[in-house]
Amino acid sequence: MNTNPLLDGLTLAREPGSFAIYIFGATGDLTRKKLIPALFSLFTKGFISHFRIIGFARRPWTREFFQNEARSMLEQGHAKSVSQAVKEAFLEKLDYISSTFDDPKGYAQIEQTAQGMEGRIFYLSTPPNEYPAIIENLGKAGHHRAPLGGYSRIVVEKPIGRDLASAKELNNQLAAWFDESQIYRIDHYLGKETVQNLLVLRFCNTIFEPLWNNHYIDHIQITIAESIGVGTRGNYYESSGALRDMIQNHAFQLLTLLTMEHPGELSADAIRGEKVKVLKSLKPITFREVDRYTVRAQYTQGVIEGEEVPGYLQENGVSPDSTTETYVALELSIDNWRWSGVPIYIRTGKRLSRKSTEIAVYFKDPPHQLFRSGGQLPAPNSLIIHIQPEEGISWNVNSKVPGYYTAVRPVNMDFAYGSAFGDSTPEAYERLLLDCMVGDSTLYTRRDEVETSWSFITRILYGWAQNKSPVAAYSAGSAGPEEAKALLAHRNKKWRKL
């Protein structure tokens, strides 16, 4: 049982009953880097105690082999400092089913490994092309039906499709066997503390909510920048690209939480319903407008942290004549009462100068500006929400510089999670897995949200194909292509410095 005194009355509400979690594709990187460490952390913190973890994959592993592999997964980060006795107690909870994903015999072994457990969680950590076979076989074996007094849930990793048609097809496959309340479409960005804090920031602080509209906000910038390249994921990235890989899910999650209306209550459907309304209010970018409101580009050879790195076309698994974008920038408009006239700029890219995910909200200038410094107007106020690598918030205001003259300079009021609360924030997968165990789907995406976002994105993909839109170039280690500056320049604005 969780004995953390800070949880108070929330302790019991977050204490899941007994469950068995089946990780399909348990031999992959996600299990090694995220799922096993997250489950172990929940175990050491006392959130879970009565459970089993069953790997399900093709490799001819045994229970003992899987446990040994998991033992090596616990030799890093927080887990490294935990006693061996605690690790062994956790590892005893692990089991393994060696089976192809289309062999009914493998699914017949599920029930015997779940004996005595109230819940069943089926986690799809495989390539998306394996999803249909897993869903179909789970259904045919009856695992979509909850055990008496328990539950059955399925967790699906992104990508949920690669366009509107394929997203609908996957959702139909899921709906053929599972009720929507059983389906948990995971986006790990929603597990980040700062992302969860967006609603608290807006609706729990009187200072912000009255200003959160087109009367006071000039424009918004959302940046998801990565310094890494595609690495060993060249084959996957060739069929994806930055628009599918980052905008349709991660960036739109940030956008909807930032701009949604008050949900009325903190229920999953109320919050997710308001997010869908934002997506439905996005002004569509037609195929005739894609070259005006979007920029796509690829990184070329460059230098990052003093090291020469190859261009995208030289990466393993990438076609030498590929037009897949590794960078995309968009100008969006939300056609509703609150946000009409406020441009929203989103950019994401690989091999940029640094890793940074942040939201920058820029406020309008005062109606009459009294103060100038060297003939220059003071910088506009801005609220910067830092999501990674460091989580926190910066509120930028103007202040008089001490001295005999009236000089104005911007200053920051900073809040950082690490220093404010004196403890490291939980990993995103910890929070999301725990939510699934207790049946809270607030931080998971609903079917209509997925399909509405794909409807918007598919128009852009169609426009790029129809217009044979150019793919710009940018050097690895830079802030992106020069062409992206034009999205803001026509409104006399600039991207925030990376």
Q: Which residues are catalytic?
A: 250
Q: Is 42 helix (H, G, I), strand (E, B) or coil?
A: helix
Could you give the maximum distance between any two Cα atoms of the chain, in Å? 83
User: Is-contact 476 351, C-beta < 8 A?
Assistant: yes
- To 10 degrees, what angle do helices 193-203 and 252-259 make? 20
Q: Report the C-alpha gap between 52 and 194 in whole angstroms.
A: 31
By C-alpha distance, which of 170, 101, 110, 108 is closest to 133? 101
Q: What is the rounded CA–CA span in Å between residue 26 and residue 32?
A: 8
Cα–Cα separations (whole angstroms), residue 384 to 220, 359, 395, 444: 10, 6, 6, 25
Residue 217 CA, chain-centre distance (Å), reads 25
Asked if residues 134 and 24 have their Cβ atoms less than 8 Å apart, the reply is yes
Q: Is 391 exposed, middle or buried (0-12, 13-18, 19+ CB in 10 A)?
A: buried
- Extract the tokens encoding 429: 């997968």
Residues in the chain: 498
| Amino acid, res. 455 | S
Are 252 and 334 in contact, with CB atoms under 8 Å apart?
no
Q: Which sign does the torsion angle of CA 369, 373, 375, 381 carry?
A: negative
How far is the C-alpha of 180 from the C-alpha of 322, rounded, in Å?
Answer: 38
CA angle 260-261-265, nearest 5°? 110
Rounded to the nearest 10°, the torsion over CA 138, 142, 144, 145 is: -170
Q: Which two tokens stand for residue 118?
A: 């109230």
Cα angle for residues 144, 147, 150 (degrees, 5° grid): 105
